Amino acid sequence: MTFQLVEHPLVQHYLTRLRDRDTPPDQFREFSDRIITLLLYEATRDLRSRIFPIQTPLEETDGHTIADRVVAVPILRAGLGLLGPVLELLPEVTVGYIGLERDERTAVASRYYVKLPPDIRGKTVMILDPMLATGGTARKAVEILKEYQPASVRLVCVVAAPEGIAALEEAYPDVMVFAAARDRQLNGQKYIMPGLGDYGDRLFGT
């Protein structure tokens, strides 16, 4: 598995704002959009492009367009907060949704909702889930998506715990993970430390 820690100063700036417990929901959503936009630059760096001729006001030159087709799959519900920048930046992106519920005792995730585009085969799938904690949810999401034979699967998250990284790498070594932080550990309740709290609650003010 490729784990890429995005250490850009702007990423760290917005990550700090997300970690701050005093950041209100409206600002949390704003900073979430900004950090995901920055993470997307790295997560899409290897997408293939197609060259074609265009006419500038002065002469003809080569233009570029994204050739790889991307399917964005937010994990409900917190992953919805990561979707906006993807829709704004990526051309012709399609969107699927996966709802997973984690057993708090076993950390095993089970599906309660799956709605995916019919044409995932051969495409680049980008899972959107802000927290990689135990890895149970990520592993289940990848398992579901692998059934559709995508060209590649990558996960975009804000913070990741070493336990989740290891679990995902063991199960799916071909998955790429892009994160703003590799945090210290999980605590006894499986929360990421130092973390930033419940992403969904802070995003939606619940």
Nearest Cα neighbor of 96 from 121, 69, 70, 117 is 117
- Establish whether 201 is a catalytic residue: yes
Fill in the DSSP letter of residue 134.
Answer: S
Q: What is the largest CA-CA distance in the chain?
A: 65
- The tokens describing 139, both together, are 């592993």
Give the span between the Cα atoms of 139 and 68, in whole angstroms: 24
Catalytic entry in 17, 29, 77, 102: 102
Catalytic entry in 56, 106, 121, 206: 106
Per-residue b or e along 27-38, where b marks 16 or more CB atoms closer than 10 Å to that residue's CB: ebbebbbbbbbb
Strands 159-160 and 131-132: parallel
- Establish whether 34 is a catalytic residue: no
Helix (H, G, I), strand (E, B) or coil at 41: helix
- Establish whether 106 is a catalytic residue: yes
Q: Which run of H or E residues covers position 30?
A: helix 25-43
- Establish whether 174 is a catalytic residue: no
The alpha carbon dihedral of 84, 157, 99, 170 has a sign of: positive
Give me the active site residues, please.
Answer: 102, 106, 198, 201
